[in-house]
Structures are given as C-alpha cells and as structure tokens.
Amino acid sequence: MKVVVLGAAGGIGQPLSLLLKMQLPAGSELALYDPAPMTRGVAVDLSHIPSRVQVAGFTGRDPSAALAGADIVLIPAGIARKPGMERSDLFKFNAGIIMDLVQHCGRVCPKALIAIITNPVNSMVPIAAEVLTQLGVYDPRRLFGLTSLDVARSESFCLDMNREVDAPVVPVVGGHSGLTIVPLFSHVAEHYTDEQLRALIARVQQAGTEVVEAKAGAGSATLAMAYAALRFCLSLVRAKQGEADIREYAYIEGGHPQARFFSQPMLLGPDGVAQVLDYSPVHSVEQAAIDGMLPTLNQEIQQGIDYARNVLQD
C-alpha cells in the first residue's frame, strides 16, 4: 500500500505523516511531498521511528515522483485561515494549488483514492472533479472531501456531555463549512430537546472557528485534523485490503437529489465508495438545518466548478 501526503511539511501534513508512519500496516510506503525544502528532512526525521513503513521525502515543483504508484493520496496542502476569515476566504489562495496537484494525480496515479483536506473543501472537491474529468479519468467513487473531523468533533462533544456513552455515533451530513455542516445528534440514544439539538449543531458548525480564534493567528486545527485524516485513511486502507462493511463519512459526488456533492455516510470498498448509505431518520430541527444550508452549499459547489472550467478553457 502506498500513501502519499501532498503538503506534508505543513501544520496538518507533519502530524498526519507522523501518525501514518506509526499506524499504516507493515510493508506500506509513505511518500511525503511539499515544495518546502525541509520535506526531505521531515522524512529523515520520521524514518528514525521504528516501524515497517518506508518513508521518503520529495520536494521541488513537481510531485510526480512522490505520486508514482500511489494507492491513496491525502491533500492537506494550501494555506489556513486566520481569525476573522471564513473558509471561503481561502478559495483564491488554495484553488490553484488544488488544480495543480490534482492534475498531477490524474496523470500519474489516475486510479488512486484522493482525499482533499484543503479548504474550502466544499469548492475544492468540485474543482478536483472537473480537473479529473478533463483528463478523462474522473471516477466519483475515488474522490473524497475529508469531513471526518466534523464526525470526530460531534463524537467528542457527545462524550463530554454523556458519561455513560462509550462510542457515540453521530452522522454528519451536508458539507464542511459553517452552516453546511449538519451533525445528526438525534441518532444518539440520549434524547435531546429541540433547543439542545440547535445548540449542538451550532457548536459543531463553529468548532473550526473556535480553534482558529484560540490559536490567535497561528492557524487552524492541525492535530485533530491529522487524527481525523488518519482515521479516514486507515478506513480506505482496510477497504482496499478487502475488508467488508467499512463505514465512513465524507463529502462525495452523488447520493443527494439537491446537491451534486454532499457529505454523508457510505460503505467503502477497494475502489472507493461502494454504497451511499441512508442517514434517516432526520429530526425536524436537523431537516430544517439541511434545507436552510442547501443554497449555500450549491453556491460553493458552483464556485469551484466555474473556476475550474474557466481555467481549463484558457
């Protein structure tokens, strides 16, 4: 199994690479790419951790050498927001980065499973889909926007509130920005009032901003994001190795009648999404949150599509 991290020297990339070095199955290869010259050093540093995972660092302007033979590509590349910014404010910085990296993925490892962490995820995934379509290699089963941090946060807030719950399952649907993040706390056995559900939804929607503000200009979530990306990557690995019934959540194409891309539960298989799962029942408070955010989600999707089509035409 070969896993590639594009943006490996950054705030998410480094802890993610550390976790992967420690937790990928024995015999895996881990390729770290980042234009920052220190990337080879990050790989050397990690190579001193005893595990049967081979790690190599790649730098320069072209990630092709890192991508050769990749099974899974994780992309945290790009810049993070500062206090006062929305994820959408990162669009103009990160869109070009994603276009370039995904073009290389499409050319070098067209069958790889690609998970995009770079914000705004709601627009970056449509950009990637357009790029891969233009290259003639787009397979919606293989492209994901990472939303497992929203799931992890929902589980974590649930554990904080309920001492008797050990492993809460909280599906999170919609997208990965502000109001588009809709956690379904009604799936937890505990009964919540409408008021409590509204407060919990808002808490998860604002969790990324809570970290950005607490870090006071030094970036956004890196450690919990690295954990969430590891968790998702290990699910992809297990599915690729033939394990059945791997349930995950991610932002993917298909499965929702009113949005081309939507985050939702799914079963994974060796080729990526094997089956989109139903997430009903949905409480009326949650349904109102989904209905209310759809115009925003669709506008963010369209922004990505329009950008990619304009650039690809030139």
Least Cβ distance, residue 119 to ligand LMR (angstroms):
5
Query: How big is the chain by its Cα radius of gyration, in Å?
Result: 19
Instruction: Find the catalytic residue in 176, 191, 256, 283.
Output: 176
What is residue 25's DSSP assignment? P
For 29-95, where are the E strands, in sequence order?
Answer: 29-33, 54-58, 72-75
Q: Which is nearer to ligand LMR, 59 or 147 (CB)?
A: 147
Segment holding 254, helix H or strand E: none
Q: Do you know the residue count of the chain?
A: 314
What is the distance, to the nearest Å, from the Cα of residue 264 to the centroid of all Cα atoms in its chain? 12
Instruction: Pick the closer one to ligand LMR by CB: 117 or 236.
Output: 117
Place of tokens 């539960």: 265
Shortest-Cβ-distance residue relative to ligand LMR: 208
Q: Which is nearer to ligand LMR, 215 or 283 (CB)?
A: 215
Q: Which residues bind ligand LMR (CB under 6 A)?
A: 80-81, 87, 119, 149, 208, 211-212, 220-221, 225
d(CA 292, CA 38): 44
Confirm if 208 and 221 have CB atoms less than 8 A apart: yes
CB nearer ligand LMR, residue 174 or residue 208: 208
Q: In whole angstroms, give the CA distance from residue 248 to residue 89.
A: 28
**What values do phi and psi take at 254, rounded to 5?**
100, 160
> What is the smallest separation between the CB atom of 73 and ligand LMR, expressed in angstroms?
19
Record the tokens describing residue 269, joined without a space: 């298989």
| Distance in Å, CB of 9 to ligand LMR, minimum | 18
Rounded to whole angstroms, the Cα distance separating 54 from 73 reads 16
Taking the complex as a whole, the smallest distance from the CB of residue 118 to ligand LMR amounts, in Å, to 9
Minimum distance of ligand LMR from residue 40's CB (angstroms): 27
Q: How far is the CB of 257 from ligand LMR (least distance, A)?
A: 26
In whole angstroms, give the CA distance from residue 170 to residue 151: 6
For ligand LMR, the closer of residues 82 and 141 by Cβ is 82
For the question of residue 283 being annotated catalytic, the response is no
Closest CA to 122 of 176, 182, 79, 81: 176
Nearer Cβ to ligand LMR (84/270): 84
- The dihedrals phi and psi of 129, each to the nearest 5 degrees, come to -60, -40
Tell me which residues are annotated as active site: 176
